[in-house]
Amino acid sequence: MKPKVLAVVGPTAVGKSALALSLAQQFNGEIISGDSMQIYRHLDVGTAKVSPAEQALIPHHLIDILTVQEQYGVQQFVKDCQTLITEIHQRGKLPIIAGGTGYYLKALLQGLQLGGHNSSSAAVRSQLEAELAQVGPEVLWQQLRSLDASAAAKIDAHNSRRVMRALEIYRVTGKLPSDQQNQPHPYDAYLIGLNCERSLLYQRINQRVELMMQMGLLTENEWLRKQGPNLPALKGIGYREFTPYFAGKQDLATTVNEIKKDSRHYAKRQLTWFRNQMDVHWYNLVEHEDQITEIEQAVQKWRRSNEL
């Protein structure tokens, strides 16, 4: 019997955290944050962490586990989640993943083969980075296409990170990336997606950024830049846009507008990913609050299909 895992996904500012908390309370669950930035301590505003009061209501995991100097990637996320899911089930509770990066969730829930941290994988990754610098992303994509046309068709030729990841899998394991599609999934996962009408979504995103500024996003960025250069968190939305501001090349109003723009673009990419890559059951709680009843009934039916 596969362990059950519930996930709440979708773009920012549509109520994922609140829904995950509500479902955890109703179905005896524990929440695992799927957000790759909420792992960092002290970055509370820009990552939209749930409040300490909310965390006290239901156990939350993968929040505030690292300093901003530490690295964290998909391999570690999958490893941590696998351990947590086992432990949560052993406690007789339901694991609920709230939010998260699309590829991270796919790697976890579909059991994708990842290139680990061993020396051979590191060597292959270094070689691919050297090739990328020498020939560019399109040539690497052509290499992938000659090996695995099916996998290449699903990856943008200019997305060098995903192209290199696919080639790394092949060079380390000898397995075609597309072969993973035929692997049995390790979990009985049910994905609930939240969304709303596009113009309303963008309005909510803009309002959230304004609220973050009121809550101290500028101060948080000032603190972050005192912790050292080239920090992983400085690449995140809500932080990277401040780089030209602190360099004296951009005013604050422009910086805020850049955060809004990047957040809207990211939301669009999130929706495209989940619609094309994973089996998601979509709802709109922003405009139709009564759909919460449909969600609860769907989750109940799924849980009863094989009781925990």
The least confident of 82-86, 122-126, 260-264, 282-286 is 122-126
Do 162 and 195 share a domain, yes or no? no
140 residue type, one letter: L
Do 101 and 203 share a domain, yes or no? yes
Do 259 and 300 share a domain, yes or no? yes
Annotated binding-site residue? 115: no
Judge whether 12 and 263 are in contact, CB under 8 Å: yes
Last residue of a domain, one of 174, 202, 218: 174
Residue 93 has pLDDT above 90, yes or no: yes
H-helix segments, 47-159: 52-57, 74-90, 102-109, 119-135, 137-147, 149-153
Annotated binding-site residue? 16: yes
Annotated binding-site residue? 137: no
Do 281 and 132 share a domain, yes or no? no
Residue 148 has pLDDT above 80, yes or no: yes
Do 200 and 133 share a domain, yes or no? no
**CATH number of 141's domain:** 1.10.20.140
Tokens (6 digits) for 201: 């979504």
**CATH number of 36's domain:** 3.40.50.300
Q: Provide the number of structural domains found in the chain.
A: 2
Do 84 and 221 share a domain, yes or no? yes
Residue 34 has pLDDT above 60, yes or no: yes
Q: What is the pLDDT of residue 19?
A: 97
Mean pLDDT in the chain?
91
Task: Evaluate whether residue 195 is within a structural domain.
Answer: yes
Handedness of CA 2, 168, 71, 20 (dihedral sign): negative
Tokens (6 digits) for 78: 């999958």
The domain containing residue 66 runs over which residues? Answer: 4-111+189-304
Task: Evaluate whether residue 183 is within a structural domain.
Answer: no
Annotated binding-site residue? 47: no
Annotated binding-site residue? 228: no
Task: Evaluate whether residue 184 is within a structural domain.
Answer: no
Phi first, then psi: what are they for 227, rounded to 5°? -85, -10
For residues 72 and 77, give the distance between their C-alpha atoms in angstroms, rounded to a whole number. 7
Do 16 and 165 share a domain, yes or no? no
**Mean pLDDT, to the nearest integer, of 49-62?**
94
Do 228 and 297 share a domain, yes or no? yes
Task: Evaluate whether residue 28 is within a structural domain.
Answer: yes
Annotated binding-site residue? 14: yes
Task: Evaluate whether residue 129 is within a structural domain.
Answer: yes
Task: Evaluate whether residue 50 is within a structural domain.
Answer: yes
Residue pLDDT, tens place only, 194-247: 999 999 999 999 999 999 999 999 999 999 999 998 999 999 999 999 999 999
Annotated binding-site residue? 52: no
Do 155 and 103 share a domain, yes or no? no
Task: Evaluate whether residue 180 is within a structural domain.
Answer: no
**3-state SS of the chain: helix, strand, coil percent to 5?**
55, 10, 35
Residue 98 has pLDDT above 70, yes or no: yes
DSSP state of 121: H
Task: Evaluate whether residue 228 is within a structural domain.
Answer: yes
Do 68 and 201 share a domain, yes or no? yes
pTM: predicted TM-score of the whole model, two decimal places? 0.81
Annotated binding-site residue? 15: yes
CA-based end-to-end distance of the chain:
9
Do 165 and 288 share a domain, yes or no? no
Q: What is the pLDDT of residue 75?
A: 87
Do 196 and 95 share a domain, yes or no? yes
Residue pLDDT, tens place only, 241-268: 999 999 999 999 999 999 999 999 999 9
